Chains A and B, each alone.
Chain A
Amino acid sequence: MKLIISNSPHLRSTINTSWVMRQVIFALLPAVIASVILFKYRAIFLILNCVLTAVATESIILRIRKRPSAIKDFSAALTGLLLALILPPSTAWYAASLGSIFAILVGKQIFGGLGSNIFNPALIARAFLAAAYPKMLTTFIKPYSLDAVTAATPLALRKFSAHLSSSPTIDLFWGNTAGSLGETSAICLIVGGVYLLARKIADWRIPLSLLCATLIISSIFYFANHSNGSFLFHLFSGGLLLGAFFMATDPVTTPMTKKGRYVFGVGCAILIMITRYFSGLPEGVMYAILFMNAATPLINRLTRPRRFGE
């Protein structure tokens, strides 16, 4: 009789890191399918490019660092997929590859690999590409157009042409607008996001507080001046839903305390709306989440839960 001696507990839940990552990828599938319908082969190429480059980079770096291969945890594939979904569909292949390498190398492995990074790797890579290829990263194309007819995003139209009527809410809802690859179809992101929250893969506190704060802020501004855009306009356009459900819920770079998660969500919403209303940029989801990523250690410290009985 060979018996194993180990400390309690002797039971474990069946979930593991790989399962969590695969579930997030699964929840992104509606948005992936929408992107393929809207942007055809460009979507397929961009997603394959980013995912494969990210996975290849991860395995090479882990080999150099003499660490066990961690491809099976699917975290690199998820980073690549998320990056693809936040890039313009017309992004050049070399820029997308470079972004994926940057996401894994600088965004993740330099900090010590999975779990140690401060910033969301996909977002930091997009910020890098926005600086390296400013023109390419602000040029969007019309959906369903094979010959790359450029078009402005709804948020850019609002900001630079005071144009709201050109993008009716129903188009924003289904995704028939110009924008980053995976951000245009609100319904697909909501379906995936609700799945994540219902299966308790992501905590609901960040998305809920982010969306509620957006509702309050945008409603106030809408009543002050209708050209600011309604709540539904702000909710369905740009990267708000993708950010709220899939970027602001990245466990590694967001607060570990329950109170901190509310702070994080509200902070993101305030920064997003400030950027959309007052800055020179039409959209602010990326910088808002990156900024809140940087504030996460501080939020964690300030929102330490009181131990039971205090």
Chain B
Amino acid sequence: MIKIEEHKQPQVGLATEGFLNPKKLYLPLSQHTGRPSLPCVNIADIVEEADLLAKEDGFISARLHSPKRGKILNITEGCHPSLKRAKCIILECQAQEKEYSYRKNVESLDKEELREIIKNSGIVGLGGAAFPTHVKLNPPKKINTLIINGCECEPYLACDYRLMIENLREIFKGIEIICKIIEPDEVIFALEDNKTEVVKKLNLLISTKRVNLPKTKSAILKTAYPQGAEKQLIYSVTRRKVPSGRLPFDVGCLVCNVATAFAVYEAVYLNKPLIERLVSFAGDAIATPKNIRVKIGTTLKELFDAGYLKFKHEPRKIICGGPMMGVALDGLDYPILKGTGGFLFLSKNLDIAEEDPCIKCARCVDSCPMNLLPLELARRIKKEEFAALDDFSIADCIECGCCNYVCPAKIPLVHYIKVGKKYTSRKD
């Protein structure tokens, strides 16, 4: 792990704004890990807010709901931040707001019913990987430790931080639901030590026992990147190591992002599917950074057209996600997906430099959270020796970018490793 400049000011101090009346939404059918959803509406249909638009396809898949009342314009190819082009439902929205009423019988629901609500709400992991939550909450093994991930270790991003500041109670209501489903022995709320204000609130909430949870404690971890990566977080909190190719439940853990817990709260208590999320907009190219609650499917273009975001400098790079693992975009036509935590607009080119020869300083080796040898991988990939890559555990690389960040020779190690992965046999 590495220390890295945080760039979280001023985003962390900015209260959430709302942009909940978009004109048009682009809703890709693939916003989660697993098979794309299957549309269950037709072109020209009128749908209400929270209506089902697409059903899950198979075990690992998720549902998609209409974020607004409106008319289905088309079901066709559209922009997708990571897949570039993907099938999506285009919705023309009407400016009508739906009232959600508080569900009264939450206490009496059993775990199957709760899991069904989560599945029917289309909830996926909101930390980035977007794994369907109802699948995650049905582990084949007993879970001892539920870890709530509030680390948000990517620089610039502050949406989880704002959510914890503004909605910590609701997050805990969501955690209560998750506990009812998986029945863990203990709950550990993990934070980095740069989030002092949240730490205070959290400790107050836990110490006054106003939460109805099993043994709960906070784990204040040192601020490092990638502290919030699943396997690293489990190790930091419990000293348990998830073996290569295995999943957290193999060591009795389940990791859940704070935003996911909040989505669970909204689904169960308000009967509101996952149709909105909090997104950070940051970087030096925009006039004022913002944290905005938006409808899933809102495009960047619409936020700029509506004046919510303004350019101060001409952007050289637009990134969907954080600067360490995010995807560079070629324009503003991209929609916000369920797993999108932020967008960056940078006026300076911060990463492209001429590649010098490797001096084997091994800073990459020292920084790798998976204990790999990035320089050895890159050397072999450059020479097209793809057969040797499995020996160097290329599939274990989580592409966190630490090696790439620290390299004094400016070798694009992650780029090489991504190329190398395409040529290796084992994929996971």
Interface residues of A (CB under 8 A from B): 1-13, 15-17, 19-20, 73, 75, 113-116, 203, 251-252, 255-258, 304-310
What are 15 A-to-B residue pairs whose CB atoms are below 8 Å? A4-B316, A4-B328, A6-B328, A12-B404, A12-B405, A15-B406, A114-B356, A114-B357, A114-B359, A115-B409, A251-B359, A258-B365, A307-B370, A309-B243, A309-B246
Q: Does B198 contact A (CB under 8 A)?
A: no
B316 touching A8 by the CB < 8 A rule? no
Query: Within the complex, which residue of B5, B155, B329, B362 is in contact with A256, where a contact is CB–CB below 8 Å?
Result: B362
Give the contacts of B318-340 with A (CB-CB under 8 A): 318-319, 323-331
For residue B371, CB closer than 8 A to chain A, the reply is yes
Known: A1-B331, A256-B373, A309-B246. A16 touches B360 (CB 8 A): no
Which stretch, B105-113, B141-149, B186-194, B343-351, touches the partner chain A? B343-351
Bound form: Cα–Cα A291–B396 in Å: 34
A75 contacts which chain B residues (CB < 8 A)?
Answer: 359
A-B contacts at CB below 8 angstroms, number:
155
Least Cβ–Cβ distance between A175 and chain B, in angstroms = 30
Assess whether B75 is interfacial by the CB under 8 Å rule. no
Q: A113-B357, A305-B365, A307-B244 are in contact. Are A10 and B328 (CB under 8 A)?
A: yes
List of A residues within 8 angstroms of B356 by Cβ: 16-17, 73, 114
Chain B CB count within 10 A is highest, among A13, A258, A310, for A13
Query: Are A258 and B326 within 8 A (Cβ)?
Result: no
Give the complex CA separation of A2 and B409 in angstroms.
27
Contact A3 B317, beta carbon cutoff 8 Å: yes
- A258-B366, A305-B372 known; 15 other A-B pairs, CB under 8 Å? A1-B315, A3-B318, A6-B415, A9-B401, A10-B346, A10-B350, A12-B405, A12-B410, A13-B407, A13-B408, A251-B361, A256-B362, A308-B231, A308-B241, A309-B242
A17–B362 CB distance below 8 A? no
Contacts of B4 in A (CB 8 A): 11
B418 is an interface residue with CB less than 8 A from chain A: yes
Which single residue of chain B is at the shortest CB-CB distance from A112? B357
Q: A257 to B358, Cβ gap below 8 A?
A: no
Which listed residue, A2, A7, A11, touches B405 by the CB 8 Å rule?
A11
**CB within 8 Å for A304 and B317 given contacts A9-B324, A13-B406, A310-B244:** no
Residue of A6, A258, A308 ringed by the most chain B CB atoms within 10 A: A308
The answer to whether B360 touches A6 (Cβ under 8 A) is: no
The answer to whether A9 touches B351, judged by C-beta atoms less than 8 angstroms apart, is yes
Complex contact A3–B315 (CB within 8 A): yes
Q: How far is the CB of A57 from chain B (nearest CB, A)?
A: 17
Is the pair A20, B353 in contact by a Cβ cutoff of 8 Å?
Answer: no
Asked whether B414 lies within 8 Å of A115 as measured between CB atoms, the reply is no
- Which A residue's beta carbon lies closest to that of B232? A308
Contact status A115-B327, CB under 8 Å: no
CB distance from A307 to the nearest CB of B (A): 5
Once bound together, how far apart are the Cα atoms of A308 and B231, in whole Å? 9
Residue from the list B371, B409, B410 in contact with A306, Cβ < 8 A: B371
**Interface of B with A (CB < 8 Å)?**
4-5, 155, 231, 235, 241-244, 246, 314-319, 323-331, 344, 346, 349-353, 356-362, 365-366, 369-373, 375-376, 393, 396, 399, 401, 404-410, 412, 414-415, 418
Assembled-state Cα–Cα distance A308/B1 (Å): 12
Minimum distance in angstroms from B400 CB to a CB of chain A: 8
Let me know if A10 and B326 touch, CB within 8 A: yes
A256 to B376, CA, bound (A): 10
Give complex CA distance A304, B371 in Å: 9
For the complex, give the distance between the alpha carbons of A3 and B320 in Å. Answer: 13
Complex CA distance for A203 and B366, rounded to whole angstroms = 10
Q: How far is the CB of A14 from chain B (nearest CB, A)?
A: 9
Chain A neighbourhood of B330, CB < 8 A: 3, 5
9 pairs of A and B residues whose beta carbons are closest in the complex: A9-B401, A251-B361, A256-B362, A115-B357, A309-B243, A7-B415, A305-B371, A11-B323, A10-B323
**A4 touching B418 in the complex, CB below 8 Å, given contacts A10-B328, A115-B359:** no
Residues of B within 8 Å of A3, CB to CB, are: 315-318, 328-331
Residues of B within 8 A of A116 (CB): 357
Q: Which residues of A contact B369 (CB under 8 A)?
A: 308
Cα A114 to Cα B357 in complex, Å, equals: 7
Cβ-neighbour of A10 out of B246, B315, B317, B361 (below 8 A): B317
One of B243, B317, B362, B412 near A257 (C-beta < 8 A):
B362
Min distance, Cβ B228 to any Cβ of chain A, angstroms: 15
- Is B362 touching A307 in the complex (CB atoms < 8 A)? no
B408 touches A19 (CB 8 A): yes
Interchain nearest-CB distance for A15 vs B (Å):
5
**Considering the chains assembled together, what is the distance between the CA atoms of A46 and B223 in angstroms?**
48
What is the distance, in angstroms, from B283's C-beta to the closest C-beta of chain A? 10
Closest chain A residue, CB of each to CB of B3: A13
| Interface contact B317-A12, CB-CB below 8 Å | no
With contact pairs A16-B408, A257-B365 given, residues A115 and B360 touching in the complex (Cβ less than 8 Å): yes
- In the bound assembly, the distance between CA atoms of A7 and B242 in angstroms comes to 27
A252 to B375, CA, bound (A): 12
Tell me if A12 and B371 are in contact (CB < 8 A).
no
The answer for the CA separation of A256 and B317 in the assembled complex, in Å, is 34
Q: Are A8 and B331 in contact (CB under 8 A)?
A: no
Complex Cα gap A175–B270 (Å): 78
What's the nearest-Cβ distance from chain B to residue A5, in Å? 5
Q: CA A16 – CA B360 in complex, angstroms?
A: 13
Q: Which residue of A lies closest to B352 (CB)?
A: A6
Nearest A residue to B326 via CB reads A8
Residues of B within 8 A of A113 (CB): 357
**Nearest A-chain residue to B318, judged by Cβ:** A3
Instruction: Specify which chain A residues have a CB less than 8 angstroms from the CB of B372 in the assembled complex.
Output: 305, 307
Assess whether A309 is in contact with B324, with CB atoms less than 8 Å apart: no
Query: Interface centre among B327, B362, B410, by most A CB within 10 Å?
Result: B362
Q: Which residues of B contact A8 (CB under 8 A)?
A: 323-328, 399, 401, 404, 414
